[in-house]
Amino acid sequence: MSRVGLLIFYGVLSAAFAYYEYPYNWLSIALSGATKFENTPDQVAKDNYRSICKRFSGLNPRQVDMCEKYPLLIPAVARSAREAIYECQRQFKFERWNCSERFDVYPNTSVDGLMFQDFMGKTLRGGNRETAYLTALTSAGIVHAVTRLCSSGNISECTCHNRPASLHFVDTSTVNEVRHQVIQKVSPKSRFVWGGCSDDATFATHFSKQFLDLYDQEVFQKSGEAKYLTNVHNNFVGREAINQNMRRHCRCHGVSGSCELQTCWLQMPKYKEVSEMLKQRYNHFAVQVSKKAKRRLRRKDKAERMTPLRGNEMAYVYRSPDYCNRNDALGIIGTSGRECSITSYGPESCDLLCCGRGYNTRDEIRTIRCHCKFVWCCQVKCKECKEHVQIHTCK
């Protein structure tokens, strides 16, 4: 091909890419390298971050505005996306949908633009129960990450809370952990004073609401499609999982641990605990709603249609696929080749995970650590043992 022909070819190719539209998906910034940016709160850093906001192709127009307004928060947002996917995959590790999908990669035609990877995008736009869980989890992730940033004192927009007594909190002297491990009790009659750095999720909640809700609200006003309103609702569910579960932690003072006085502060639940709370709501408090909505979501069940959705209920529009077989259009990987258990009766059992297709069995010899002993001081020495195991994978 001649030089002129090459120029024409590349011109047509560029024009094709310029008119190619791809969906918005803010989770793509988790793969963009934004997590590696350093939080240096000076004007030069802010200007540098603002210059790359428009290079993130997955951000919708309102998110680009928020990126330019609060550029120093974008590394925390990107890290929150990665943490959310990690927790999602941990929660669904043994289920047919294991929080993974085949995603598309699109070129970016802007100057110095970053390649757009539609990471978990098909799930985010699916409008089903898995969409509801992922939406709530990522919303909570932003609140958690930005609040941690506030408490660290690395940004000027927020800091520790100066009036923790005004917030809703759960007393750790009486609460049980999600895994039902009782926290050490402290006498409720002990005097205490507020001190230390209490987590303040007020700014993070506002930021998350602006970053995630604005565009969906605008699209809902134009289209009336309920799935956009379910996104807004599930974002709220994720934020409330943190705001309604702030914990009061205390340190005792007194002679011989008498705990005559306590210094207390508020702390968010761990993100791992938040993901477990939301998984329970996915299992037991997910509500299907009607496809069309005027101003608020309505339950699909006509007998309960007048009952408004509660703040602990996730909302979804469409029933989920079975996730058994590969479907590239929906991003479904399928369960073929997944490892299963022949002794379990849970979702990881070969009967359920393999969707009735049966399973293959192979023998493996694995090397494991065994006969471990503690050696003073301070090592643990182990021997290596070989064990014979059978691995079962879905057909």
> Which of 175-184, 333-342, 346-355 has the least mean pLDDT?
175-184
Average pLDDT of the segment spanning 293-316: 89
Decide if 43 is inside a domain: yes
Distance CA 279, CA 285 (A): 10
Whether 82 and 182 share a structural domain: yes
Whether 241 and 376 share a structural domain: no
Res. 45: pLDDT tops 90? no
Whether 176 and 212 share a structural domain: yes
Decide if 334 is inside a domain: no
Distance CA 194, CA 39 (A): 29
Res. 97: pLDDT tops 60? yes
Whether 287 and 361 share a structural domain: no
Decide if 326 is inside a domain: no
Whether 217 and 355 share a structural domain: no
> Which of 10-19, 260-269, 378-387 has the least mean pLDDT?
10-19
Pairing of strands 379-394, 339-340: antiparallel
Average pLDDT of the segment spanning 30-36: 68
Whether 231 and 262 share a structural domain: yes
Whether 236 and 362 share a structural domain: no
Decide if 324 is inside a domain: no
**DSSP labels, 142-195:** HHHHHHHHHHHT--SS--SBS-GGGS--EETTTPBPTT-PBPPP--TTSEEEE-
Judge whether 220 and 291 are in contact, CB under 8 Å. Answer: no
Decide if 144 is inside a domain: yes
Whether 118 and 249 share a structural domain: yes
Whether 251 and 353 share a structural domain: no
Give the pLDDT of residue 126. Answer: 92
Q: Which domain holds residue 246?
A: 18-316
Whether 101 and 217 share a structural domain: yes
- Token digits of residue 370: 């065994």
Give the pLDDT of residue 185. Answer: 42
Find where tokens 């989920």 sit: 320
Residue 21's pLDDT band (boundaries 50, 70, 90)? low
Res. 33: pLDDT tops 80? no
Decide if 283 is inside a domain: yes
Whether 36 and 102 share a structural domain: yes
Give the pLDDT of residue 182. Answer: 35
Number of domains in the chain: 2
Distance CA 280, CA 319 (A): 18
What kind and span of H or E run contains 7?
A: helix 3-18
> Which of 68-77, 202-211, 253-262, 322-331 has the least mean pLDDT?
253-262
Whether 279 and 369 share a structural domain: no
Give the pLDDT of residue 38. Answer: 55
Decide if 330 is inside a domain: no
Decide if 262 is inside a domain: yes
CATH code for the domain of 362: 3.30.2460.20
Domain boundary among 283, 316, 349: 316
Report residue 211 CA to chain centroid gap. Answer: 15
